[in-house]
Structure formats: C-alpha cells, structure tokens
Amino acid sequence: MIIRKNTFGMGDRFAHQGHAQLKAVTSARELGLDIHPVWNKSNREHLLVGTKPDDLRAEADAATAAAGWTDAYYVDADHIGIKTVDWFLAGSDFYTLDVADFTGKPAAAEDIDAFAADMARYHGDLTIPGIAAAVRIDDATIRAAAGKFLFAMQEAGRIYRYVAEKKGADHFITEVSVDETDAPQGPVELLLILAMIAREGIPAQTIAPKFTGRFNKGVDYVGDIAAFEREFDEDLCVIAYAIREFGLPASLKLSVHSGSDKFSLYPIINRLIKKHGAGLHVKTAGTTWLEEVIGLAESGGDGLALAKDIYAGAYPLATDLIAPYAPVVDIDIPSLPSPDEVAGWSAEKFAATLRHDQSHPDYNVQFRQFIHVSFKIAAKMGDRYTDALKRFEPVISRNVTHNLLERHIKPIFG
C-alpha cells in the first residue's frame, strides 16, 4: 500500500465533523489541489473522549460514501505502541508508531556495535545533495545517535512486525514518530534514525521528527522561523538521500504533527515542498474541536450558553486539564478571563476571542489554548454536547470547513 503524495490529517474528537472536514478536501480538489484525507485519532484521545477506533473508521467510511468519494483515504491509529495497538487493528490502515518513550534507553551493546560498523562507510565529510555544507560524521556521532534512538527504532520494528503479522504487510501505511521527545532532531540525527528504520526492515512512508521551536496546540508557531526553514529544507534533502541510500520507500515523506494553526510556517512549508517536489503529511486535530465551540458560540442562545458552560466547567480544573498537555501549551492561568466575565460576552465576542484570527483585537491566545485542552468537559456533558452539535450543525460545519480549507489546506498545499 503506497501513500499518496499529499495527505492531510484531520482529527475529530467527537466524531461529528467527518462530512464538514471532507468538504474542505473536496473543495480543495475542485481547485486543483491533489490532496487525500486521513482521519487520525490517538489512543490517548479515544480514552479521554470515550470513543473507540471502530467509530473513526465508521465516520470516515460514512463521510466518504455520502460524498461519493472514490479515491484513497486513510484511517490513522495515531501515536500507538505495542500495548495500545490491538483495538486499532480492525479499523485502521495507517499506523503511527510512537516510540518517543523509548528514546534514550540503551540498546544492547552488540547492536550498537553492529550499527556503528555498518555506518562506518559514512565516516568523514558526507555530501548530501541540496545541503550546502558537507555533514561531518564520525564514530562518535553514530554512537551518540544510536545511544539515543536505536532501542526506540528496534521497538518500532517490533510494533511494525506485530501489525504486519496481524494485517498483512500490504494493507497499511507505516509512520514512525519521535515528535513527542524532549529535544528536536537535526538533519544528521534524522539521517541516522532513517538508517536504523531501514535496518529494522520498517517500510516507513512518513516520519515525524520533532522540529525546532514550539508547536503549541491550536496556535501559531513560537520559535526562530529562519532556523525552522533551514531545518525543514535540510530534512527534505536528508529524506531524498535516505530513500536512495538505504532503500526506503520512494513515497517516504515528512509528517508534521501538531500541524494545525502554524500560519507563520505554511508559506515556508509550501515553498519548500514545491522546491523539492516532495510529498507531505500534516496532522491536525484540536483545531476542529475549537471550530465546534466557535460555531456553538456564534449560534447564540443555547449554543452560546453551552460554550460558556464548557468554559465555566473547565476553569476551576485548569491545572488538571492542562497537565497532560503541559509540553505543548503555554497557558498562564492567572491571565485567563474569569467565568463571570465570559458569562457576559456576546456571541460575537466569544467567537472572536476564540477564533484564530491574530489580527482581531479580541483574539486571546491564552483563551484559545485553554479551550483546546478543555474538551474533556464537553465529553463529560455527553448527549447535551453531541445533541448541540446536531442542532447547530449548519453554523458549526461552516466554521469547520472554512478553517481547514482557507487557513490550512490552501496555504499549505495551494
């Protein structure tokens, strides 16, 4: 199974926006953009919301059938490991092997020796086409990377072989993710990680490194944009080189996690994938949940009241709600508006405070990140929340589609 060149991942916490999400993709295709949808959901998210992997498959199949979609689409078991993969085996055809927890753990000394011996042919100044300065590689560089990543890539191999045994190797796409690690991986580390992946026999078609800078949930990039541009450019060169050098699938491409709302990076990503003729996978998720809340607020009346209740319910639990996301949000709790203040907001004020329009005077990056992590409150509301999604569907779906199409797909792939 070979992944299409341009793929766009869309998470959907409450499984009601499949149609609105697909509409963003079909509208883009009408404009000539050849992109394919991927519905992604992690084990963590299923547990927090109370959904199961088969629900996501059902949603993707229903949305595509209703739209008459006949081209490729995928269902991504996002961030899974050997302990969590089983309930994803039936419904998924894309597996994101998350081995971040295994980085830094020591591989067997003989395995490190074997890897170092195998890579000795790259010692010296390595020229990677497209990267201006030669890359210096020696035994120490190789052993340092092996010390950090070899055990993790062996674990990825174990998960891959388990899924392949259960599903058949031709029936799914494999992604390897190390984005949820402490430190970003530079191009040399990426090269050596890809060598490890190839030696494990993993036919990875997407790779999710941790990029430099902060990829906070649902908000714009925070970091050195020029450094990101250099790194992304070099990563694309490394991938093209690794495909030829290590015999990895020709379809191998970068996967950008927490990829929603990184508006300041999209022009760079757009330019660089065109320059390299490279494919790309981008994952988004919580941005769609935020559009649900915006749509509820904008609907006024009971919809606005529900949006305010979510905030009022979340506010006293801020510390606990933020904790699981601490590495990927920057929320200053004291600067959040009080629920009393929010209770007095109009529909327009609530929507404008939350919507990711950085030029709007009401936009509040703290408020937006906090609502992002507050979906557990809506999950606890059960039918009250999902009934509201149905009742206010026209306004919500308009926001969901517009956000993915205009703010994401067009700037990234257009």
| ∠ Cα 144 281 92 (to 5°) | 95
Q: Which of 47/132 has CB closer to Zn ion?
A: 47
Q: Which of 191/208 has CB closer to Zn ion?
A: 208
Q: Which of 215/413 has CB closer to Zn ion?
A: 215
User: What is the 8-class DSSP label of residue 214?
Assistant: B
Q: How far is the CB of 179 from Zn ion (least distance, A)?
A: 4
Map residues 225-244 to x or -, x wherever contact with Zn ion holds by CB under 5 A. --------------------
Q: Which of 168/324 has CB closer to Zn ion?
A: 324
Name residues contacting Zn ion, limited to 30-59 (CB under 5 A): none
From 13, 257, 276, 407, residue interacting with Zn ion (rule: CB under 5 A): 257
Residue among 215, 308, 212, 223 at smallest CA distance from 262 = 215
Give residue 131's Cα distance to chain centre: 26
- Checking 166-169 for CB contacts under 8 A at 24+ apart, the result is 166/89, 167/89, 169/203
Q: How far is the CB of 312 from Zn ion (least distance, A)?
A: 30
**Residue nearest to Zn ion as judged by C-beta position:** 257
Other beta carbons less than 10 A from residue 248's beta carbon: 20
Helix (H) or strand (E) holding 396: helix 393-402
Q: How far is the CB of 256 from Zn ion (least distance, A)?
A: 9
Nearest-angstrom CA–CA distance, 352 and 298: 9
Q: How far is the CB of 365 from Zn ion (least distance, A)?
A: 21
User: What is the 8-class DSSP label of residue 159?
Assistant: H
Nearest-angstrom CA–CA distance, 404 and 17: 11
Name residues contacting Zn ion, limited to 295-334 (CB under 5 A): none
Other beta carbons less than 10 A from residue 251's beta carbon: 17
Helix (H) or strand (E) holding 193: helix 187-199
Q: How far is the CB of 184 from Zn ion (least distance, A)?
A: 13
Nearest-angstrom CA–CA distance, 368 and 380: 20
Q: How far is the CB of 340 from Zn ion (least distance, A)?
A: 36
Q: Give me 293's structure tokens.
A: 């809340």
Is 76 a binder of Zn ion (CB under 5 A)?
no
Give residue 218's Cα distance to chain centre: 11
Q: Which of 40/64 has CB closer to Zn ion?
A: 40
Q: Which stretch binds Zn ion (CB under 5 A): 62-70, 217-225, 249-257, 284-292?
A: 249-257
Q: How far is the CB of 283 from Zn ion (least distance, A)?
A: 7
Q: How far is the CB of 98 from Zn ion (least distance, A)?
A: 7
Residue among 284, 366, 276 at smallest CA distance from 322 = 366
Q: Which of 257/355 has CB closer to Zn ion?
A: 257
Q: Which stretch binds Zn ion (CB under 5 A): 57-65, 144-152, 251-259, 370-378?
A: 251-259
Helix (H) or strand (E) holding 217: none
Is 179 a binder of Zn ion (CB under 5 A)?
yes
241: left (phi over 0), alpha (psi -120 to 50) or beta: alpha
Is 210 a binder of Zn ion (CB under 5 A)?
no
Q: Which of 258/353 has CB closer to Zn ion?
A: 258
Q: How far is the CB of 188 from Zn ion (least distance, A)?
A: 22
* Total number of residues that touch Zn ion (CB under 5 A): 2
Q: Which of 257/356 has CB closer to Zn ion?
A: 257
Q: How far is the CB of 285 from Zn ion (least distance, A)?
A: 9
Q: Which stretch binds Zn ion (CB under 5 A): 133-141, 171-179, 286-294, 349-357?
A: 171-179
Q: Which of 283/355 has CB closer to Zn ion?
A: 283
Helix axes 286-299, 347-354, angle to 10 degrees: 170
By the 8 A CB rule, do 373 and 232 touch?
no
Q: Which stretch binds Zn ion (CB under 5 A): 67-75, 184-192, 254-262, 331-339?
A: 254-262
Name residues contacting Zn ion, limited to 125-144 (CB under 5 A): none
Q: Which stretch binds Zn ion (CB under 5 A): 102-110, 252-260, 292-300, 318-326?
A: 252-260
List, in order, residues 6 or more apart from 95 with CB less than 8 Å away.
Answer: 76, 77, 80, 85, 88, 159, 160, 163, 172, 173, 174, 175
**What residues line the site for Zn ion (CB under 5 A)?**
179, 257
